[in-house]
């Protein structure tokens, strides 16, 4: 029986120190899972040399496609570009900063059985400063119960999704609120979820786009608007 094809993409913002190794490791992992895959890196206006790293990688990794945003548009916009350019049966994505081990994609692929459409990672132990861990735990709790999400760790950007699910939804967020929107809209579209523990590591390169006062305020303003749109204006029973 033929194995499903896989599109794997990495949003990249000032991740020159980690993106090269991630692409190489991702390619090696994909070669064990399928005979048909593509790797997409969305360079979201990086200013640290990521563009040069990716240009050199393209000459070595034939499956690599680089999507460049001339200016930084935000995390949500980077994910939307990745989804829009993915062409294979399954779509995997994780961040370009090296906080997740792309080799663990094999675990997600194993759990994507016929009765599952969306496999979401859940961090075993978050390798961040204590204040970020506490804020992250509060955020997960708030998102799960204000949006009635089918998973616990909406903040874990390590996901394998059937493209048929993505084709049925329309994402609008440009900020970090896209993670909540992605899960909620997929749930509304009838996706069947599974969650599995994955390792989380200290950031290898770049800086968090979220843990800055203006970014946090922007994201939560977007989440408030998203809640009104999804939970009030667009509220409907699951199909």
Residue range 210-225, pLDDT digits in tens: 556 667 777 888 899 9
Angle at 110 between CA 104 and CA 112, to 5 degrees: 110
Residue 201 pLDDT grade (very low, low, confident, very high; cuts 50, 70, 90): confident
* CATH code of the domain in which 67 resides: 3.90.550.10
Structure confidence at residue 141 (pLDDT): 84
Strand (E) or helix (H) holding 146 = helix 130-147
Q: Say which residues have a Cβ less than 8 Å from residue 95's Cβ, sequence separation at least 6.
A: 10, 11, 157
SS3 93: strand
Structure confidence at residue 205 (pLDDT): 60
Structure tokens at 174: 């440009």
Structure confidence at residue 129 (pLDDT): 55
Domain assignment present for 172: yes
Structure confidence at residue 51 (pLDDT): 95
How many helices (H) and strands (E) the chain has is answered by 8, 7
Strand (E) or helix (H) holding 194 = strand 193-198
Distances from the Cα of 139 to the Cα of 143, 155, 211, angstroms: 6, 8, 12
Q: What is the largest CA-CA distance in the chain?
A: 51
Percentage above 90 pLDDT, the chain: 77
Domain assignment present for 111: yes
Backbone angles phi, psi at 193, to 5 degrees: -105, 150
Burial of 130 (0-12, 13-18, 19+ CB in 10 A): exposed
Domain assignment present for 220: yes
Domain assignment present for 119: yes
Domain assignment present for 84: yes
Cα distance between residue 152 and residue 156, in whole Å: 9
Domain assignment present for 138: yes
pTM reported for the whole predicted model: 0.90
Percentage above 70 pLDDT, the chain: 87
Structure confidence at residue 139 (pLDDT): 75
Cα distance between residue 123 and residue 136, in whole Å: 11
Range of the domain at 200: 6-233
Residues 132-179: pLDDT tens digits? 665 667 777 889 889 999 999 999 999 999 999 999 999 999 999 999
CB–CB of 156/126 below 8 Å?
no
Cα distance between residue 63 and residue 46, in whole Å: 21
SS3 135: helix
Residues 43-68: pLDDT tens digits? 999 999 999 999 999 999 999 999 99
**Structurally, how many domains does the chain consist of?**
1
**Short-list 162, 184, 165, CA closest to 173:** 184
Domain assignment present for 140: yes
C-alpha atoms less than 13 angstroms from C-alpha of 17 in its C-beta half-sphere: 9
Structure confidence at residue 2 (pLDDT): 80
Cα distance between residue 163 and residue 209, in whole Å: 27
List, in sequence order, every residue forming a beta bridge with 41; answer none if it has no partner. 10, 66
Summary mean pLDDT of the chain: 90
Domain assignment present for 239: no
């Amino acid at each position: 029986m033929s194995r499903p094809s896989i599109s794997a993409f990495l949003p990249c913002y000032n991740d020159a120190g980690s993106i090269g190794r991630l692409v190489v490791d991702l390619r090696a992992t994909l070669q064990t899972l399928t005979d048909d895959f593509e790797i997409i890196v969305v360079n979201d206006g990086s200013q640290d040399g990521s563009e040069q790293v990716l240009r050199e990688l393209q000459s070595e990794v034939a499956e690599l496609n680089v999507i460049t945003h001339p200016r930084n548009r935000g995390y949500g916009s980077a994910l939307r570009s990745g989804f829009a350019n993915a062409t294979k049966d399954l779509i995997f994505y994780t961040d370009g900063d090296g906080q997740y081990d792309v080799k663990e994609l094999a675990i997600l692929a194993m759990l994507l059985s016929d009765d599952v459409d969306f496999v979401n990672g859940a961090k075993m132990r978050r390798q961040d400063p204590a204040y970020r861990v506490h804020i992250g735990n509060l955020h997960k709790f708030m998102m799960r119960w204000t949006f009635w999400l089918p998973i616990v760790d909406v903040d874990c950007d390590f996901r394998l999704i059937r493209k048929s699910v993505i084709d049925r939804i329309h994402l609008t967020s440009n900020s970090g609120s896209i993670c909540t929107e992605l899960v909620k809209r997929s749930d509304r579209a009838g996706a069947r979820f599974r969650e599995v523990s994955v390792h989380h590591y200290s950031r290898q390169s770049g800086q968090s786009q979220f843990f800055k006062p203006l970014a946090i305020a922007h994201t939560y303003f977007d989440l408030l608007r998203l809640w009104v749109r999804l939970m009030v204006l667009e509220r409907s029973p699951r199909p």
